[in-house]
A = this chain, B = another copy of it.
Amino acid sequence: MIDGGNAAMSFVDDDDPGGPEPFDNPAARLHLAETVRMAEAIVFASAEPVSEKALAARLPQGSNVRVVMTELQRVYEKRGVNLVRIGDAWAFRTAGDLAFLMNRDAVQQKKLSRAGLEVLAIAAYHQPVTRAEIEEIRGVETSKGTLDLLMETGWIRMRGRRRTPGRPVTYGTTDAFLDHFGLAEIRDLPGMDELKGAGLLSTRMPSNFQVPTPMADPGLLADDEDELTDIDLEELGLLTPKGGDD
């Protein structure tokens, strides 16, 4: 049913679902309005996002769920309650700009620790990602229970296994994560494109990563160089740490 929906999308301009093409016919327009009401009632009644599959099962047969929901989203665009998409599900949520009004009553939420937050961000931006990769990025072993608790919170999940030797388990985020942080999909994560462009979402240093010049401060380095040229490499390795004492 969802496939049918996508196919029909081509007739409709996303920005103006009320455009002339599909609604020329007054009967069709009335029919759409009634289907929109039904979708509105179903989604409004639920606190959880309602999947397009579930909607398709309850709306009149042959309804184009995506068109219906896009129209409904437009209707609620400027209201105190908005219709948001979470993956392939829909939910009504209070408008973001009214947060000042709402959050005074919010139950004090537990704050994620720095480690927990970092693992969550890495799982979100680098997914699918293995535990070894998370540890490589953070440069530290992930403490037992960090992944466990993030899974318990329902924000990250085991996705499957990487098709490489050893077949390590991969992690990624859930729809509950998208819902909690107000994202329609993973692509909407803030800064995703910049990070990709900068090559910062790869496990290895990409070849186009700008090789920095550690000699940016040539004065300082030149001094050190002169001083140390006579010293044998092996000795240097042994003596270096003691250089920090003075």
Nearest-neighbor residue (CB-CB) of A34 within chain B: B80
A159 within 8 A of B: yes
**A79 with B159: in contact, given A146-B199, A147-B198 (CB under 8 Å)?**
no
How long is the Cα–Cα vector from A160 to B95 in the complex, in angstroms? Answer: 43
**Are A41 and B147 closer than 8 Å at their CB atoms?**
no
**Are A147 and B184 closer than 8 Å at their CB atoms?**
no
How long is the Cα–Cα vector from A78 to B41 in the complex, in angstroms? Answer: 12
Chain B residues near A92 (CB, 8 Å)?
44
How long is the Cα–Cα vector from A199 to B142 in the complex, in angstroms? Answer: 10
A194 within 8 A of B: yes
Which listed residue (B37, B148, B168) contacts A98, Cβ 8 A? Answer: B37
**Are B101 and A144 closer than 8 Å at their CB atoms?**
no
Interface residues of A in 172-205 (CB under 8 A from B): 182-184, 187-188, 190, 194, 196-200, 203
